[in-house]
Amino acid sequence: MQIAVTPDPGSWVVIPEFPPPGWARTEAQTRSLLLDMTGPQWRAAFANLLEELRRTARGTSMARLLHVGEGGHQIFAVDLTLVIARDDGTKEGRHATQRALIADLLPQAEELQRLRPDPRMAGFQAVSKSTDAGTTSRPSAVVVLRMAGLPTVPVDLVMRAWKAAPEVVASALDDVVALGQAVAPVDALPQTPDN
């Protein structure tokens, strides 16, 4: 299932799959000015990070974002995916499905915390207690939210945060959870004559 996301541009950079030439450099220059971090070394490091994230393998139905909050001190990547819910729709069924998703993605998780960020969403979040979390293969944190009320089948929004230590991601988990408000399946978007 394809996914569309429109996050707060003050805190998030959407990593496109096929950016135009020089996109990373232009985005780094723009973001440096917004964060008041104008040193050429920071811009170059940021541009390299954007380019590296763009080249890192991802599934076709995944959105990738980079969090750049707190003046550039909370930089980490988040991959968002919509997973069709295969449970019976009961609270117990949803809990079992969401716990299984987190256990699969984050086997060394601290205690799961229940979430209810919106009347249309419910789920869990967990932060890794592993010291090697934050790499491409191991996420630092996972958030799973059931997206109710969409004009499609029930889905879970799975957000996998990586590219930073768990404590960095944990300090900005509210921003990650808030992404649930900015996500929709592409199939659920209203069709216009242009698309």
- Give 109-164 pLDDT, tens digit per residue: 888 999 999 888 999 999 998 866 666 668 999 999 997 766 567 889 999 999 99
pLDDT of 190 reads 43
Q: Which residue has the tokens 């900015």?
A: 182
Q: Is the pLDDT of residue 187 over 60?
A: no
Q: Which of 61, 75, 56 is nearest to 12 (CA)?
A: 75
Tally Cβ neighbours within 10 Å of residue 29: 15
Q: Is the pLDDT of residue 188 over 50?
A: no
Distances in whole angstroms, Cα of residue 142 to Cα of each of 11, 27, 82, 162, 192: 19, 26, 13, 9, 34
Distances in whole angstroms, Cα of residue 3 to Cα of each of 53, 59, 67, 81, 173: 18, 11, 18, 7, 20
Contact present, 22 and 29 (Cβ < 8 Å):
no
Q: Is the pLDDT of residue 195 over 60?
A: no
Q: Is the pLDDT of residue 34 over 80?
A: no
Share of the chain above pLDDT 70, in %: 86
